[in-house]
Structure 1
Amino acid sequence: MAHMTVRHIDADAFVIGIRQHEVLIDQRSADGGDMGPSPVELFVASLAGCAAHYAHRYLRDHGLEEGLAVECDWLMRAGTPHAVGSVRLRVVTPTPLSHQQQHGLLAAIDACTVQNSIRPPLPAVSVTIDDGSGPPLVVEETLHHAANVV
Structure 2
Amino acid sequence: MLKKVKIEFGEGKKLNATGGNFTVGTDQSVEGTTPDPLDLFITSLATCAAQYARNFCESRSIAMNGIALNVEYCQHLETSQISKVNYILTLPEGFPEKYKAAMLRAIDLCPVKKHLLNPPAFELELV
TM over 0.5: yes
Contact 1:13/1:25 (CA < 8 Å) preserved in 2? yes
Contact 1:7/1:16 (CA < 8 Å) preserved in 2? yes
The match for 2:10 is 9
* Structure 2 letter corresponding to 1:129: L
**Unpaired segments ≥5 residues, structure 2:** none
Distance in 2 of aligned mates of 1:96 and 1:87: 27
For 1:38-77, what per-residue CA distance to the aligned partner results, in whole angstroms no more than 9, with x for missing partners?
1000000000000000000001111111243321211213
Higher strand share: 1
2:122 to 94, 111, 125: 125
Higher helix share: 2
Distance in 2 of aligned mates of 1:75 and 1:26: 21
The match for 1:48 is 46
Q: How does 1:1-150 map to 2 (within 5 A)?
A: 1-29=2-30, 33-67=31-65, 68-77=67-76, 80=79, 82-119=80-117, 121-130=118-127
Across the aligned residues of Structure 1 and Structure 2, the Cα RMSD in angstroms comes to 1.7
* Structure 1 letter corresponding to 2:74: L
SS of the counterpart of 1:103? Answer: helix
Distance in 1 of aligned mates of 2:60 and 2:11: 47
Distance in 2 of aligned mates of 1:8 and 1:75: 29
* Structure 1 letter corresponding to 2:125: T
What is the deviation of 1:9? 0.4
Give the number of aligned pairs.
Answer: 125
Contact 2:13/2:29 (CA < 8 Å) preserved in 1? no
What is the deviation of 1:94? 4.2
Distance in 2 of aligned mates of 1:23 and 1:69: 24
Distance in 2 of aligned mates of 1:95 and 1:15: 42
Q: Which of the pair has more CA radius of gyration?
A: 1
Q: Percent identity?
A: 22
* Structure 2 letter corresponding to 1:12: K
